[in-house]
């Protein structure tokens, strides 16, 4: 098995990232040569890295009602796998064995500001493409088994050491075991193997079989992309079209002729079906873009944004003018797209018509202070206050400010 060595003339599969973190190369080169094309191990992607979260804090988070958490345990003797879903009682963790189990918690960036602070390092990607940062703690020997992800992922080692094996062969077999609810591969034939330490990062494009096993007690941060399936996209789009369709838009046949066979669905009928569907403007770029902006900013987990204490607008604006700031809710997901001469800002499925400069500024701002707010147009300030009322912004505490 190769230990990360590339064939002569091929792009390297392993690089040192210390001279140009976090990829060891310009982002343009990474996107051209690796993104959704081939794996890449970046040693020292985050040199001197210290995990922003401890195993104890991760366990505490796994006890929270709204946190999405799992424990995967492996019985090596019988090669049996067990999956449990949280939230977990605090009393469980002291009873777990000292080997062969893994705790995984999704969306840790929504709960922990220090974990979320890693996201700007991935600013070479569209922000709306990044789904979450999952953090896993594994006892020695802990693993989730050999598997395949259908999305891009950056696996950043936070603490301890994990051995990763991957299969880079073309069209690897992807057949799942039938004896577990986990989607584990029946066959896994790795051709590369590494041990990652703190600050090392492995990038995997979709469809690459991989298997990670903890060498010692370790933390791994997984920066995963949002990659909805074609079926998911189509289902949501069709649902949107159906919900918005005018009941008066129907199949019509004013040109109907006497059929040769009354039981035949002929070519003319099918052409009318196509025309009836086209009336819904399924190929309208503006409508498609509006739907996708709403869809991709809708949070896909149970957590929701709820309005908090809100003061009247005149008072809120006075506070901003006098040194206060609004901090963005961690579940607030925003993106924007050009629309006509302006733009549309999308925030968790809602849309706002704004000038481009305002949409760009609001989508990127993790907080709003008085100067930023004053620099918005009237439409931008109206949108900002509407977002504040909806809970996307909260008045920052003195510590946050």
Identify the helix (H) or strand (E) that includes residue 105.
strand 101-105
Which pairs count as long-range contacts for 233-237, CB under 8 Å and 24+ apart, including other chains?
A: 233/295, 236/291, 236/295, 237/282, 237/288, 237/291, 237/295
* pLDDT of amino acid 299: 79
Residues of the chain with pLDDT under 50: 6-8, 399-401
Give the domain range for residue 279: 230-284
> Does residue 152 share a domain with residue 65?
yes
**Is residue 107 domain-shared with residue 204, that is, in the same domain?**
yes
Q: pLDDT of 278-334, one tens digit each?
A: 877 766 788 889 999 999 999 776 667 878 788 999 999 999 999 999 999 999 999
CATH no. for residue 216? 2.60.120.650
What is the DSSP secondary-structure string of 164-192? EEE--SSS----B-SSSSS--BS----SE
Of the residues 225, 248, 263, which one is the last residue of a structural domain? 225
The reply to whether 240 and 207 lie within a common domain is no
Are residue 205 and residue 318 in the same domain, yes or no? no
Residue 295 lies in a domain: no
Q: Is there a single domain that holds both residue 269 and residue 184?
A: no
What's the pTM?
0.90
Tell me if 400 is assigned to some domain: no
39 found inside a domain: yes
Q: Which residues pair with 73 in a beta bridge?
A: 82, 101
- CATH code of the domain in which 321 resides: 3.40.366.30
**Cβ atoms of residues 303 and 107 within 8 Å:** yes
Q: Please state the domain count of the chain.
A: 3
Q: Does 389 fall in a domain?
A: yes
**Residue pointed to by tokens 């903890």:** 214
On whether the CB atoms of residues 199 and 106 are closer than 8 A, the answer is no
156 plus 271 within the same structural domain:
no
Structure tokens at 138: 């594994």
Alpha-helical (H) ranges within 192-308 are: 230-244, 267-278, 285-297
pLDDT at position 8 is 46
Is residue 3 assigned to a domain? no
Q: Are 118 and 223 in contact (CB under 8 A)?
A: yes
Residue 348 has a pLDDT of 94
Please give the pLDDT value at position 283. Answer: 67
Note the pLDDT of residue 153.
98
Query: In terms of C-beta density within 10 A (0-12 exposed, 13-18 middle, 19 or more buried), how is residue 72 classed?
Result: buried
For residue 2, the 8-state DSSP code is B
Q: How many CB atoms lie within 10 A of CB 201?
A: 26
Whether 163 and 28 map to the same domain: the answer is yes
Query: Do 274 and 324 lie in a common domain?
Result: no
- Which of 284, 300, 326 terminates a domain? The answer is 284
Looking at the structure, tell me whether residues 100 and 220 fall in a common domain.
Answer: yes
- The token pair at 303 is 């957590």
Cβ within 8 Å of residue 354, ≥6 positions away: 336, 342, 343, 344, 345, 362, 377, 379, 380, 383
- Residue 96 covered by a domain: yes
Which letter does DSSP use for residue 5 in this model? P
Considering the domain architecture, whether residues 183 and 141 belong to the same structural domain is answered as yes
* Same domain assignment for residues 213 and 90: yes
CA 185/CA 198 separation, integer angstroms: 28
Q: Say yes or no: 60 and 203 in one domain.
A: yes
| 160 within domain boundaries | yes
Q: Is the residue at 209 inside a domain?
A: yes
């Amino acid at each position: 098995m190769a230990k990360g060595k590339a064939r002569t003339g091929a792009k390297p599969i392993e690089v040192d990232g210390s001279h140009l973190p976090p990829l060891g190369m310009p982002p343009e080169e990474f996107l051209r040569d690796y993104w959704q094309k081939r794996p890449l191990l970046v040693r020292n992607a985050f040199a001197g890295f210290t995990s922003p979260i401890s195993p104890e804090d991760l366990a505490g988070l796994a006890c929270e009602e709204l946190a999405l958490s799992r424990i995967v345990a492996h019985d090596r003797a019988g090669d049996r796998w067990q999956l449990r879903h949280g939230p977990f009682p605090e009393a469980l963790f002291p009873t777990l064995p000292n080997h062969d189990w893994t705790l995984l918690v999704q969306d840790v960036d929504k709960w922990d500001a220090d974990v979320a602070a890693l996201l700007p390092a991935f600013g070479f990607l569209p922000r709306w493409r990044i789904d979450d940062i999952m953090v896993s703690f594994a006892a020695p020997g802990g693993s989730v088994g050999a598997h395949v992800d259908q999305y891009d992922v950056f696996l950043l080692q936070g603490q301890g050491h994990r051995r990763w094996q991957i299969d880079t062969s073309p069209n690897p077999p992807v057949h799942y075991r039938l004896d577990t609810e986990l989607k584990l591969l029946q066959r896994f034939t790795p051709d590369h193997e590494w041990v990652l330490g703190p600050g090392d990062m492995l990038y995997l494009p979709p469809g690459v079989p991989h298997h990670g096993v903890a060498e010692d007690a370790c933390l791994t941060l997984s920066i995963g992309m949002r990659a909805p399936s074609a079926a998911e996209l189509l289902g949501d789009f069709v649902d949107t079209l159906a919900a918005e369709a005018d009941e008066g838009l129907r199949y019509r046949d004013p040109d109907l002729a006497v059929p040769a066979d009354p039981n035949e669905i002929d070519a003319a009928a099918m052409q009318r079906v196509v025309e009836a569907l086209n009336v819904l403007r399924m190929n309208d770029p503006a409508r498609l873009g509006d739907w996708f902006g709403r869809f991709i900013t809708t949070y896909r987990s149970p957590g929701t944004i709820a309005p908090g204490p809100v003061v009247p607008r005149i008072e809120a604006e006075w506070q901003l003018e006098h040194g206060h700031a609004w901090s963005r809710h961690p579940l607030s997901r925003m993106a924007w797209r050009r629309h006509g001469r302006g733009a549309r800002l999308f925030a968790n499925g809602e849309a706002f018509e704004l000038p481009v400069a305002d949409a760009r500024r609001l989508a990127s701002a993790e907080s709003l202070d008085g100067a930023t707010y004053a620099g918005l147009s009237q439409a931008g300030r109206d949108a900002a206050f509407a977002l504040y009322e909806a809970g996307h912004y909260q008045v920052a505490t003195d510590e946050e400010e």
